[in-house]
Amino acid sequence: AQSVTQLGSHVSVSEGALVLLRCNYSSSVPPYLFWYVQYPNQGLQLLLKYTTGATLVKGINGFEAEFKKSETSFHLTKPSAHMSDAAEYFCAVSEASGGSYIPTFGRGTSLIVHP
């Protein structure tokens, strides 16, 4: 069975600092991996995803994530935080089970950006 752990319910950074949001997963087969962002009072939207191929994935707004199979991790990074990055971030994993893929979401990490 798959599960997703996001370390830290809140991460606080200064504007211009590195952003690192951690995601670890458990899966019995190679999964598909996703990061979504949720701005206040909105639904979730895709930041980036990994399915196959290159393990370093680039997404929107300067974010990227690296799939590390040996560490079962898919951490999200951005070199320089901007005030507009303040939002809730969700890691999700989807693996095949009984012929279907059912995604599982982490509990989310709230990114706080200080001026």
**Residue of 15, 32, 66, 77 interacting with another protein (CB under 8 A):** 32
DSSP code of residue 84: G
Q: Stretches 12-20, 21-29, 70-78, 94-102: which one binds another protein (CB under 8 A)?
A: 94-102
**For residues 41-60, which are near another protein according to CB under 8 A?**
41-46, 49, 51
Using the contact rule CB under 8 A, the part of the chain among 12-20, 56-64, 78-86, 89-97 near another protein is 89-97
End-to-end CA separation in angstroms for the chain: 41
Residue 34 binds another protein (CB under 8 A): yes
Of 91, 89, 92, 63, nearest to 10 by C-alpha is: 89
CB 67, CB 55: distance < 8 Å: yes
Tokens (6 digits) for 79? 């070199």
- Tell me the HSE value of 53 on the side-chain side, using a 13 A CA sphere: 5
Q: In the set 78, 94, 111, 113, which binds another protein (CB under 8 A)?
A: 94
Q: Which residues form the interface with another protein (CB under 8 A)?
A: 9, 32, 34, 36, 41-46, 49, 51, 90, 92, 94, 96, 100-108
